[in-house]
A = this chain, B = another copy of it.
């Protein structure tokens, strides 16, 4: 089963009649729920699975903890003026795992969570053949300042913060053996410890009409915006959307950086839409925010200079 058809199935089954307590359920980066407090609670869950997302021989407990935390808090920040508060971890570990691995993972998990203002408040551990960890994060968000995937208007700018494509290159470098130089090491480290725009999201929330994190790669993110808002997007990629390291690496390897930007995943930058005037204001506050295209009424994703069929990032 393809990821898209699964998501469609779940959106259908797990849709509920409009209610006071479930503001947004299955279908956005986070669920938005009303527990009777001044702010809404945000909840997200994500998972890392050995063999699918990582190989034990290429990882360390602290890198894995970093990735797990960052991929999860990214979903919280992508909802706008929001902050993660507590996380809960369910792990499966083989019986022969070394106690020092578990200890190092736990210490790193606490440290990494603390960096984002979050406490590890519970968990569960079971035996499994392969390592996996799922994490649930609970955060809070100002009621009026949540940005959903829906809200984009025709004429809006599509913009992005955070380099795209690095994680995909990082994985390829990992799988090909070892990072050979400073550039390759940097790309690998962006896979494990993606840079989370945690200070930017609340600024963007003041202007954005829609937002999501870039966990699935640019093409998939654009498809989601287009589908959710029943619009199309015309994209013109600025080289600045790729890191200097990715550009150099692609040049050296004779690869097309646009492919990494479009079909990569797990970069965890933010993709958002807003009107042009607001984008000029945003640009003063976040100078590395980059306009990459425009929202149009004609459905479809068009990327200038990149006609190739895009292999999108599949989690499943």
A120 contacts the other chain (CB 8 A): yes
A177 contacts the other chain (CB 8 A): no
| A53 close to B102 (CB less than 8 A) | no
Bitwise interface map of A from 96 to 109 toward B, beta carbon under 8 Å scored 1, else 0 = 01010011001100
In the bound complex, residues from chain B placing their C-beta under 8 Å from that of A146 are: none
| A122 close to B43 (CB less than 8 A) | yes
With known contacts A9-B106, A107-B13, A120-B26, A88–B37 Cβ distance under 8 A: no
Stretch of A133-141, A262-270, A277-285 lying at the B interface? A133-141
| A51 close to B128 (CB less than 8 A) | yes
A55 contacts the other chain (CB 8 A): no
State the copy count for this chain: 2
In the bound complex, residues from chain B placing their C-beta under 8 Å from that of A25 are: 119-122
With both beta carbons as reference points, the residue of chain B lying nearest to A1 in the complex is identified as: B99
In the bound complex, residues from chain B placing their C-beta under 8 Å from that of A121 are: 14, 22, 25-26, 31, 33, 43
In the bound complex, residues from chain B placing their C-beta under 8 Å from that of A136 are: 43, 45, 88, 90, 136
| A90 close to B90 (CB less than 8 A) | yes
A88 and B47 alpha carbons, distance in the complex (Å):
12
| B119 close to A128 (CB less than 8 A) | no
A240 contacts the other chain (CB 8 A): no
| B127 close to A16 (CB less than 8 A) | no
With both beta carbons as reference points, the residue of chain B lying nearest to A99 in the complex is identified as: B1
Q: Which residues of A contact B (CB under 8 A)?
A: 1, 3, 5-6, 9-10, 13-14, 16, 19, 21-22, 25-26, 30-31, 33, 35-39, 41, 43-47, 49, 51-53, 85-86, 88-90, 92-93, 97, 99, 102-103, 106-107, 110, 119-130, 132, 134, 136, 138, 140, 315-316
Which 5 pairs, one residue from A and one from B, show the smallest C-beta to C-beta distance? A90-B134, A37-B37, A136-B136, A36-B37, A31-B121
